[in-house]
């Protein structure tokens, strides 16, 4: 019934907890900060605050890639998560902090939790790291079927060679305008390529690639020609998949298959 109904449904989870339970609250969001403040003056579960923006005096923080534990006495630096390729971006840092807090309250030591986070392979099609070749990182974010989801990927990775398009959702990619400076070049595919091109015109460099394979190969060639040493090719379509694929999973699987073939061919060529 709307966002207020959504909030009430989530609050019931905490209302049904007892003093033997633990409530883990992400306070980077204004609505959750308000809820956390309300709960501070009520009896009920132990509160653990997590954040990817601010150090918590009582909680877990993951700031600039560094995980901090302030659950007991003092603040302890647990380790660096920058090496966790599957956990890029503040949204994933919030998830990691929440998972760390839950595991600590289940009795697991911090070092063991950190090792697990660093080895986490990620979820398929959700900013999924596919591989690397000559410094070029490949990410499959096929699950991003609207601009809001793609925003998270652009924020997480910074400058990228961006593959986008498909069946456009209402509003297209207008909401991504603040992130256009992060786009080194866009490779547009599917039914939305003309509309997306109109939005990007004068804002970011782009080509109409038409299909996914052409987009991947052209993006890789452009990176090699530019000499960019810290480049990422990102499939984050901001559109549905049904013009060229049966599902977002199908689209992501095709992306991974093409990338794997490209990497294999490039490595074989270097050994000849």
- The pLDDT tens digits for 223-256 are 999 988 778 999 999 999 999 999 999 999 999 9
Q: What is the pLDDT of residues 26-57, one digit of tens each?
A: 999 898 899 898 888 888 899 999 999 998 88
Question: What single string gives the DSSP state of each residue in 226-261?
Answer: HT-SS-EEEE--SEESTTTSSSHHHHHHHHHHHHHH
- pLDDT at position 174: 96
pLDDT, position 122: 86
Cα within 13 Å of Cα(120), Cβ side? 26
Comparing 12-16, 139-143, 173-177, the range with the smallest average pLDDT is 12-16
> In 44-140, which residue ranges form alpha helices assigned H by DSSP?
90-105, 110-119
* Residue among 219, 224, 217 nearest 258 (CA): 217
- Please tell me the pTM assigned to this model: 0.79
Q: Other CB atoms closer than 10 Å to residue 252's CB: what's the count? A: 23
- Identify the band that residue 84 occupies on the pLDDT scale cut at 50, 70 and 90: confident
Helix/strand/coil (H, E, C) string of 104-118? HHCCCCHHHHHHHHH
């Amino acid at each position: 019934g709307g966002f207020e109904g959504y909030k009430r449904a989530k609050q019931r989870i905490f209302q049904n907890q007892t003093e033997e339970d633990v409530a883990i609250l992400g306070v980077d969001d204004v609505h959750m900060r308000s809820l956390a403040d309300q709960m501070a003056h009520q009896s009920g579960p132990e509160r653990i605050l997590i954040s990817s923006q601010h150090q918590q005096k009582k909680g877990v923080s993951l700031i600039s890639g560094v995980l901090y534990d302030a659950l007991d006495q003092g603040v302890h630096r647990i380790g660096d998560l920058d090496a966790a390729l599957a956990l890029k971006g503040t949204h994933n840092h919030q998830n990691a902090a929440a998972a760390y807090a839950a595991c600590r309250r289940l009795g697991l030591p911090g070092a063991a939790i950190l090792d697990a986070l660093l080895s986490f392979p990620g979820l398929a099609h959700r900013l999924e790291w596919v591989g690397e070749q000559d410094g070029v990182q490949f990410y499959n974010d096929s699950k991003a079927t609207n601009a809001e989801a793609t925003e998270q990927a652009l924020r997480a990775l910074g400058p990228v060679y961006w593959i986008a398009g498909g069946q456009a959702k209402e509003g297209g990619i207008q909401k991504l305008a603040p992130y256009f400076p992060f786009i080194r070049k866009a490779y547009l595919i599917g039914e939305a390529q003309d509309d997306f091109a109109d939005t990007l015109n004068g804002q970011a460099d782009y080509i109409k690639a038409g299909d996914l394979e052409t987009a991947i190969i052209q993006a890789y060639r452009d990176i090699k020609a530019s000499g960019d040493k810290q480049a990422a090719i990102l499939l984050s379509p901001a559109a549905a998949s049904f013009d060229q694929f049966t599902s977002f999973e199908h689209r992501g699987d095709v992306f991974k298959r093409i990338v794997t073939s490209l990497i294999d061919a490039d490595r074989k060529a270097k050994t000849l």
